[in-house]
């Protein structure tokens, strides 16, 4: 069965510090990988996506993520966090073989302290 694991429920970082959010997946097909961000009471905004090619992908708001097939991971990073980055972050996996249905992780809540 397809599954996505985000091992950290909460993460707190200081403003200006670097950030890494972890995502591991288990999937029976070549995956497409996504990171979404959700502010309280809002829908999901796509930060970045990986379909194929270069395993380091750049997204909006200064975020990047690296696909590591050998580790089944797609970790999200940002070199310097801003207070406005406080939100909940979701990793998601899809595949054409599964009708492009997305399977989401449980999310990581990011808190930024000044």
**Can you give the binding site for another protein, defined by CB under 8 A?**
4, 32, 34, 36, 41-46, 49, 51, 90, 92, 94, 96, 99-102, 104-107
Q: Smaller CB distance to another protein: residue 61 or 101?
A: 101
Q: Measured from the CB of residue 98, what is the shortest distance to another protein in angstroms? A: 9
Q: Measured from the CB of residue 83, what is the shortest distance to another protein in angstroms? A: 23
CA distance 73 to 75: 6
DSSP conformation class of 2: -
**Helical spans, DSSP H, in the chain:** none
């Amino acid at each position: 069965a397809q599954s996505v694991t985000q091992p950290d429920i909460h993460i707190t970082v200081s403003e200006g510090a670097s950030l890494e959010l972890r995502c591991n997946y288990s999937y029976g097909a070549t995956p497409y990988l996504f990171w979404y961000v959700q502010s309280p009471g809002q829908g999901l905004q796509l930060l970045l996506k990986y379909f194929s090619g270069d395993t380091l992908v750049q997204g909006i708001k200064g975020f990047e993520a690296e696909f590591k097939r050998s580790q089944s991971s797609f970790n999200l990073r940002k070199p310097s966090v801003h207070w406005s980055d406080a939100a909940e972050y979701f990793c998601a996996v899809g595949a054409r073989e599964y009708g492009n249905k997305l399977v989401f992780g449980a999310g990581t809540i990011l808190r930024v302290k000044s």
